[in-house]
Chain A
Amino acid sequence: MKSYSKTTPYLFIGPALLLLALFSLFPIVLALVISFTDIDLAGLADYSNISFIGIENYINIFKDPIFLKSIGNTVFYVVFGVPLVIACSLGIALLINFGTARIFKAFRLVFYMPSITNVVAVAVVWTYLYNPQFGLFNYLLGLVGIPAIPWLQDPTIAKGSLIALAVWRAIGVNMIIFLAALQGIPKTYYEAAQLDGANNWKQLTKITIPLLRYAIFFVSITTMIGWIQFFEEPFVMTNGGPLDSTTSVALFIYRNGFQLSNFGYAAAGSFVLFVTIIIITMIQFRLQKKDTDI
């Protein structure tokens, strides 16, 4: 039985769908179109200045040394960042789940906290901590006799420093996802294993990790997509430096789009990013499927 008129549902979804269409779906089409043009500030002022240049942007971008460098940096972030995030958040979730005392619930709060805080504020704080002269980290290292480390000045260390900050922020949400998954594992599995004399390590590797497979898969996909879009930390802390050694693809796109106003060129870069994300997600789903088939 239907007692509402046919238009009612559309009125309810209307506002949200209109906004999504205008600011999410249509822009994809527009981005694709402008990536084949040379639109810049002059083109923005007068559309007759825009000309269609085919795939020239795509050819040029793969010759752009900064773009290639930013791809290399982003790969570095993904390769080191994803395993670190999974290891840290899973480790903490396992420890918290293992604990029976009340205090273990409070740990959830402590580890979750960094993920809700403002990325700019946090980046400002960490820049201060990393400061070679006045920073806390070098001071603490000095106390135990380790010479000062150029946290944000050395090309390779700077990447690691940014990863440390991002891992610190990423632990919270993923830890909660793992905790929720851990609580979904029936206690009887462990009881049966204990009766059979399985030790903790055996229980972890034979029961917990296999049953967390879906959660680990979910976290690794979302984390990887997050790292591919890594932006705010290098933007605020190093502005891509030193010598573009921390410039991520996302920062490259932002810089070309909004600081150099090469909209067409930046749109081409963003499409390269988009296609990469889609391909990686598809490969991961394929692998996951194979894994469950076995």
Chain B
Amino acid sequence: MKSKVSDAKKAYKMQQWIAGIVLTLGGLLVAIPFIWMILSAFKPESEVLQLTPSLWPETFTTENFVYLFENMNFGVYLRNTIIIVLCSFVGLFFNAMAGYAFAKYKFKGREKLFYLVLATMMIPGQVTMIPVYLILNQMGLTNTMAGVVLPGLVGAFSIFLFRQFMSTIPDELLEAARLDGASEFRVFMQLVLPISKPIMAVQGILTFIAGWNSFLWPLIIANDESLYTLSVGLSLLKGQYGGNFALQMAGSTFMVVPIVIIFIIFQKHIIEGYTISGMK
């Protein structure tokens, strides 16, 4: 967009500065909740309840975090959350398999089945919520980890993205591997998956974030606190310790900061993932 007219250069530079300043102010506004959360998490409860809040913790303490693990079951919640994240990677693998088949195999009913998969994207969660609960209840899976994990294991959008990416793999490559005597599953594992690394990276990170943040199904399915995830535990904490903001901020920090770190490390993949998936 560089103007070739030299008179306009000065005005252009000025506009650049204005854009930068507006974005800085907006960015600060967007970042305030994060900054306030982290700073408050390290304040003792008495300091948070002062009428003139301090920006920087006057007494720096980690007692809020210790309290979460010693007096609340945050250790258990963390374990459950990690189990859910690991299971959702199995789901990711199923999605990749389905995406590959839709991209590279010709079989009867392929188009129709694929449209069916896409149609499931339109179904709002609130509609399936109650019947899925009844189905899981019938299967005897309420209040079990399997019941928490199963409903969200596969996703149509993920299958769609895998299919989009894997369609670009040349058929000759797959044929060559088959001629060498590789089985179909081996072709998939040792050829297709390694080629699909970029889309795998995006999907892997998004899967991790979704698993880490999972809230609704654990809330519905788990009656027992031993099955709660961090999100459910945190909403419980808000109910039980409504007035203890320092503790709440510590719990929130514990949930948000790992995701932010992962995001910063892998941000290039995530943001470019939108371009890979051709969302224009």
Contacts and interface: CB of A to CB of B under 8 A. Distances in A.
Interface of A: 1-4, 6, 8-10, 12-13, 15-17, 19-20, 22-28, 30-31, 34, 39, 44, 92, 95-96, 98-101, 103-104, 107-114, 116-122, 124-129, 131, 133-134, 136, 139, 168, 171, 176-177, 180-181, 184, 187, 190, 194, 200, 214-215, 225, 228-229, 231-232, 236, 249-250, 253-254, 257-258, 263, 266-267, 270-271, 273-274, 277-278, 281
Contacts, number: 280
B68 to A, nearest CB: 13
B205 to A, nearest CB: 9
A128 B279 contact: no
A27 B128 contact: yes
B127 A28 contact: yes
Given A12-B98, A99-B16, A176-B274, A274 B123 contact: yes
Contact of A236 (B5, B52, B238, B264): B238
B195 interface: no
A125 B249 contact: yes
5 contacts: A27-B131, A92-B26, A113-B34, A124-B249, A258-B220
Contacts of A277: 122, 124
Given A111-B26, A200-B15, A180 B130 contact: no
A187 B1 CA distance: 7
A253 B16 contact: no
Contacts of B113: 13, 17
B133 to A, nearest CB: 7
Nearest to B102: A13
A67 to B, nearest CB: 13
B280 A181 contact: yes
Contacts of A232: 215-216
Contacts of A110: 27, 30-31
B226 interface: no
B110 to A, nearest CB: 8
